Structure 1
Amino acid sequence: MTSLVQRILNHTTLLPGNVPGWLICARNASKKSSGSSRNSRGRTRGKHRGILKIDGDYVTEGTLLVRQLGLDYLPGLNVGIGRNRTLYAMYHGRVVMTTERFIPNWEHKVMRRFGSELKELHDIPIYKTYFHILTEPQKTNFKLIDQV
């Protein structure tokens, strides 16, 4: 048995520090690397949809009032509607929310696209929430600065 070890030691090359080469080994990966998975996205952040400004809030021009997917809330006085059905203030003023009877204009492009299920219910009154902006009344006093 000792002669076998001596034969192995005699035939191996010695590395610096008198260490035989067969004592130093490098291991490779023992597992196959895994591929990329498509279902590990995790949770995405919310879109912050819903009512952003409530009744009585003072808003400036261009402030977003409601973000919505459908037409849950409709634009009223001094309120515009964006391409993604977002309601925004067209002027400075106070927000007023009202619930009114909905009488659709079937010729409008938004109603032609999103109001198809309401056409069958034309006999039943539909009530929707409208957002209005009441602007500040202009001052009635006038001060003459210069006369031409």
Structure 2
Amino acid sequence: MMLTKLEFCTYLRGSLPIIQQCCGFRTKFRKGRPRNPIGVRGKFKRAYMVEGEFVYKGEVLLKQSGLVNYPGENVGILKNNTLVAAKDGVVICTSEKLNPYPDSPLYERVKNGMTIHRQFWHVYPTPVHAKFKLVTETLDSNSFKKV
């Protein structure tokens, strides 16, 4: 038997803390301190990789609200402004002068002489070493014997 939210609250009328959690009667607790309801977790907006760490293609570098950190070389950006590694390599963070596109709202400010520095995240790709040799390079043409 499924109960609606209102029926559930009236069913548990004797226990006040449970009613406050399910119906959301209170928005602040003592001393005006806001608090998430029990069971609601944070968004985990943070840096997942640090500078100098090795990352693989597709790994999340950092999650952010808004565009605070900009993608650099070999770094992609998702719809929710999450920075993702586009290639395998080492993470590098730099502070660079911003050079916006003409359709950007910051373009006019930079054009008038304002310098804006932003943090960029780059992935420096590691060189790929040859792990295997071709069969034609290892065998001579004279090594085959006819039987």
Q: Is this a same-fold pair by TM over 0.5?
A: yes
The yes-or-no answer on 1:128 pairing with 2:125 is no
Contact 2:91 2:122 in 1 (8 A): yes
RMSD: 3.0
Matched, 1:69 2:65: yes
1:121/1:61 Cα in 2 relative to 1: closer, same or farther (>3 Å)?
same
**Greater Rg over alpha carbons, structure:** 1
What amino acid is the match of 2:25?
N
Unaligned runs of 5+ in 1: 1-31
- Asked which structure has the greater RCO (Cα within 8 Å, sep 6+), the reply is 1
Q: How does 1:60-139 map to 2 (within 5 A)?
A: 60-107=56-103, 111=104, 116=105, 118-119=106-107, 121-122=109-110, 123-139=113-129
Q: Distance in 2 between matches of 1:40 and 1:64?
A: 36
- Write the mapping of 1:37-52 to structure 2, written as runs, cut at 5 A: 37-40=23-26, 43=36, 44-52=40-48
Q: Deviation of residue 46 (structure 1)?
A: 1.2
TM-score scaled by length of structure 2: 0.62
Distance 1:66 1:106, change over 3 A: farther
Counting matched residue pairs gives: 109
Q: Which of 109, 114, 136 is matched with 1:146 structurally?
A: 136
2:114 maps to a residue whose letter is: I
Give 1:119 deviation, angstroms.
4.3
C-alpha separation between the residues in 1 aligned to 2:119 and 2:102? 19
Q: Give the whole-Å Cα distance in 1 for the aligned partners of 2:79 and 2:116.
A: 24
**4+ long deviations beyond 6 Å:** 32-36
Task: Say whether the 8 Å CA contact 2:100–2:107 is kept in structure 1.
Answer: no
The alpha-carbon distance between structure 1 residues 105 and 145, as it changes in their structure 2 partners (threshold 3 A), is: same
